[in-house]
């Protein structure tokens, strides 16, 4: 077993990484945040259940579409999604990828959630248990560690 393999089994090591995003990414992110804020504003003003559900669906779809266009290959950002939609989306992405690489999942820290609880993060920790590592420098970022092949 190599040194890196034994290190991985003990736990995921987070390194300080400086990520420089392109102007297109930065503009896309700003546009997404503006759109999500607008949709949540509509959601809070609307009292009809069917209309609320369609707005929630639009929020989740907008975030999924943004990830498809802008997110790096090994990263997804779930900010703004509902817990159920986020868990379904991560499961779908893991199935699509075939567990070939680690997947960085940005969940946020729950500052905009009810009672400031990170519901998406908690759901992922429960669902994927030992395969999820929390970034100690940024608790709103998780890494879903790829499955090791059995020999």
Q: Is residue 6 part of a domain?
A: no
Distance CA 122, CA 134 (A): 11
Residues 93-106: pLDDT tens digits? 988 877 678 899 99
Look at residue 123 and tell me if it is in a domain: yes
Burial of 144 (0-12, 13-18, 19+ CB in 10 A): buried
Indicate whether 149 belongs to any domain: no
Report yes or no on 104 lying in a domain. yes
Residue 126 within a domain: yes
Domain count, the chain: 1
| Predicted local distance difference test score (pLDDT) of residue 13 | 55
Residue 2 maps to a domain: no
Q: How many CB atoms lie within 10 A of CB 101?
A: 12
Average pLDDT value for residue range 17-23: 69
**How confident is the model at residue 3, as a pLDDT?**
46
Mean pLDDT of 42-56: 86
- pLDDT digits 0-9 by tens, 105-137: 999 887 777 777 889 999 999 998 888 999 888
Q: What angle do CA 27, 33, 35 make, to 5 degrees?
A: 100
Closest by alpha carbon to 125, among 137, 139, 113? 139
Of 35 and 130, more confident = 35
Question: pTM of the prediction?
Answer: 0.78
Within a domain: 14: no
Residue 27: domain span: 23-144
Q: Is residue 11 part of a domain?
A: no
Q: Please report where in the chains the tokens 């998780």 appear, as a residue.
A: 142
Q: What is the CATH number of the domain that holds 127?
A: 3.30.1370.110
């Amino acid at each position: 077993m190599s040194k890196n393999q034994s290190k991985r089994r003990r736990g995921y090591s987070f390194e300080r990484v400086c990520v420089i995003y392109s102007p297109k990414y930065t503009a896309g992110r700003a546009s997404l945040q503006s759109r999500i804020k607008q949709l949540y504003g509509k959601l809070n003003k609307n009292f009809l259940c069917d209309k609320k559900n369609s707005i929630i669906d639009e929020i989740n779809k907008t975030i999924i579409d943004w990830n498809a266009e802008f997110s790096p290959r090994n990263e997804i950002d779930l900010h703004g999604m509902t817990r159920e939609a986020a868990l379904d989306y991560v499961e779908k992405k893991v199935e699509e990828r075939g567990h070939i690489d680690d997947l960085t999942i940005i969940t946020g820290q729950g500052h905009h959630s009810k009672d400031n609880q990170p519901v998406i993060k908690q759901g992922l920790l429960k669902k994927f248990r030992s395969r999820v590592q929390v970034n100690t420098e940024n608790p709103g970022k998780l890494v879903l560690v790829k499955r090791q092949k059995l020999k």
